[in-house]
Structure 1
Amino acid sequence: MNIRFPKPLVPGDLIAITAPSSGVSPALHPRLDLAIAQLQQRGYRVVEGACLRQQRKGSSATPQARAAELMQLLTDPNVAAVMPPWGGELAIELLDLIDFAALAAHPAKWFSGFSDLSTLHLPLTTLSGWATLHGPNLMQLAADTLDSTTAALWEVLATPLGTAITQAPSAAFQRVGADLRADPAAGLVPHEATQWKRLDGMATPMCLQGRLIGGCLDTLPRIAGTRYAKVPQFIAHAGQDGAIVYLENTELKPFDLARALHSLRLHGWFNGVQGILLGRSAAPDANTHYAFSYLDALRSALGDLPCPVLYDLDIGHLSPQMSLVNGALATLDFAGDNSTLVQHLDIASDSEISP
């Protein structure tokens, strides 16, 4: 099957909110309510799932309840998009409970977010053939005013098939976020300058093109090599379009990060790709007790690859972040502050991208 792109969202569409990983505890309900209000102000109808407004032992409900609700919403023809509040820890519990083969027979719809949701994005794309959106979580959309990088999510969700979407580096990013319990309406307060970089240290402009696939490094290496993460097959079937792998790190310290990247390399995730894009790392770097740094980890696993490696991009847990569509054909022009990432929401040009 070809990668299938969802219909663009239009006012009046129904957006379903469920928590397939972590739920929302009562202390954060005011933030959730504001995020839902923002959806409604954009003209969307909203339905809440039963697996949403509670949290116990790291998840919103039992694995069976979460899987059943997610499957029901993904197959409901009245639902145009499923937007979980955020990621979490235990989306992996759902993999054997979701019928990804059955989803391959259903029209694709938007499933958006990041972090632990990558565990579900990957099989939805590589098994079911759905384009999925790695970008801001619903709980990041509650502020009255969004920065342009975060707000690009809405452009992507509403973009017709065949349209090109251009995103650029943010001016600055936020390392420490607000306490959402104390300030439910808090927005982004960037304070560190953004700078996309090449791992080889060069500043020479360059261009990459390929089909996007990737997600969170804290979760994806745990399913690499299983039937739920057919990234090598995705790369092979991309044909002359090529493939670009993007990844972001949440909590992995340098040695753990190196092992995770080496694991993906051993599983063939970087064979034949046009490039690798790495988001800003939110994990602790080297300190007086560590001589092995974040950059050492990248160089250990990726430094001798024949493809370009870019890092510190607007991807992941240090907001803001771009909205990346798994399966989209992307062109990245690297030119310092004038860099751009253009995504084309269209089918493969010369071959099928299939499970």
Structure 2
Amino acid sequence: MPVRFPAPLKPGDTIAITAPSTGVPAALHTQLDGAKQALEQRGFIVLEGECLRTSYKNKSADKALRARELMSFLTRPDIHAVMPPWGGDLAIEILELLDFTLLSQTQPKWFSGYSDLSTLHFPLTMLAGWATLHGPNLMELGSQQVDQTTQGIWSVLEAPRGTQVEQRASQYHQDGPCQGCPDAKTGFRLTQPTRWKRLDGLHGNLEIHGRLAGGCLDTLARLAGTRFGNLPRFCEQHQQEGVILYIENVEMNPCELTRALYSLRLHGWFHAVSGVLVGRHAAPDASTPEHQSQWDALNSALGDLPVPVLYDLDIGHIPPQLSLVNGALAAVYFQDNAGQVVQTL
């Protein structure tokens, strides 16, 4: 199935907000309003869904209502993008309720975010052929100060088709995951120097080319082996161009990360990729040398791959992060513990 790209966003377009996973509790409605205002200041019309401002048992509403609202927003021709406030935990409940056949026949629109939203991004690309954006959540866009890396989402969402979008490694990243959303005035606390690394420990330059596919490993590992997560088929369809798999870990301890990565190996996810990109991990690491560490997990599962593996990239729950488009042709350049990603939309 060919990858189809949404039209670029422009002032006057309508952006719908719904929470297909976890809703926004009352204590954070002010931050949500700030994020909405940021969209309006860019000239967009904002439409709120019913599944948004409540959160109970880790979800915004029951699965039928969440699925119905998301399908409505994804298929309505007067809506140009769907931007959930954030991810959550239980988007997987609605997968079987979404009509991916209908979506494959529908003009795509931008669907953006990260974390549990990967549960939806991935099958939208694999089954419906939509290019989807893994990047900052809406709740991270409403601060008075938004860093350059996070702002890069607009260079993707508003770019004309055929544009090459270049994003560089951040200079600094936060010392831990974002708890809910960044400070409304100052944004993220970017204090730690960013250093991209090669898993093989070498320092030479690298180039990796292929179509991007990936997201949050915590949820993608649950899709592997199902029709919603058939990466080997995607690799076969795009074998001439290659596929770059990118992943990030938010909650799995090192042993669970090892098991998840080996599960992907057993499902054939690494057999035909041209490279692997791993984001900074947000999960706890080993406390003593006797225990498996996050690096040990990567080295155990990925260290013998015949393709380049880069880690500690600007992907995932330790902000800031790049805006990566599932399905986009990309070139990744690595040099001197930094790098850049160039995507063709």
Answer yes or no: is 1:15 the counterpart of 2:15: yes
Task: List alignment gaps of at least 5 residues for structure 1.
Answer: 346-355
Instruction: Classify 1:185/1:178 alpha carbon distance in 2 versus 1 (closer, same or farther; 3 Å).
Output: farther
Deviation at 1:189, TM superposition (A): 1.5
Task: List alignment gaps of at least 5 residues for structure 2.
Answer: none
Return the alpha-carbon distance in structure 1 between the equivalents of residues 224 and 282 of structure 2: 22
- The residue aligned with 2:65 is 65
Instruction: Classify 1:179/1:244 alpha carbon distance in 2 versus 1 (closer, same or farther; 3 Å).
Output: closer
Residue by residue, what CA displacement relative to the aligned partner does 1:277-327 show, whole Å, maximum 9, x if unpaired? 000000111103852111110011001110110000000000000000000
- The residue aligned with 1:307 is 307
Return the alpha-carbon distance in structure 1 between the equivalents of residues 110 and 44 of structure 2: 14
Deviation at 1:178, TM superposition (A): 6.9
Q: How does 1:1-355 map to 2 (within 5 A)?
A: 1-176=1-176, 184-288=184-288, 291-337=291-337, 339-345=339-345
Return the alpha-carbon distance in structure 1 between the equivalents of residues 227 and 32 of structure 2: 34
Return the alpha-carbon distance in structure 2 between the equivalents of residues 39 and 182 of structure 1: 17
Instruction: Classify 1:182/1:94 alpha carbon distance in 2 versus 1 (closer, same or farther; 3 Å).
Output: closer
Structural RMSD (CA): 1.4
Matched to 2:240, the amino acid is Q
Secondary structure of the corresponding residue to residue 4 of structure 1: coil
Secondary structure of the corresponding residue to residue 119 of structure 2: helix
Matched to 1:127, the amino acid is L
Instruction: Classify 1:19/1:182 alpha carbon distance in 2 versus 1 (closer, same or farther; 3 Å).
Output: closer
Deviation at 1:160, TM superposition (A): 1.0
Residue by residue, what CA displacement relative to the aligned partner does 1:73-128 show, whole Å, maximum 9, x if unpaired? 00000000000000000000011000011100000100000000000001100000
TM (norm. structure 2) is 0.97
Deviation at 1:14, TM superposition (A): 0.1
The question of whether the paired residues in 1 share the 8 Å contact of 2:175 and 2:189 is answered with: no
Mean Cα deviation higher: 48-57 or 145-154: 145-154
- The residue aligned with 1:352 is none
Matched to 1:199, the amino acid is L
The question of whether the paired residues in 1 share the 8 Å contact of 2:168 and 2:340 is answered with: yes
Instruction: Classify 1:134/1:27 alpha carbon distance in 2 versus 1 (closer, same or farther; 3 Å).
Output: same
Q: Percent identical across equivalent pairs?
A: 56
The question of whether the paired residues in 2 share the 8 Å contact of 1:31 and 1:185 is answered with: no
Deviation at 1:16, TM superposition (A): 0.1
Secondary structure of the corresponding residue to residue 247 of structure 2: strand
Secondary structure of the corresponding residue to residue 287 of structure 1: coil
Matched pairs, number: 345
Instruction: Classify 1:296/1:153 alpha carbon distance in 2 versus 1 (closer, same or farther; 3 Å).
Output: same
Matched to 2:285, the amino acid is D
Secondary structure of the corresponding residue to residue 269 of structure 1: coil
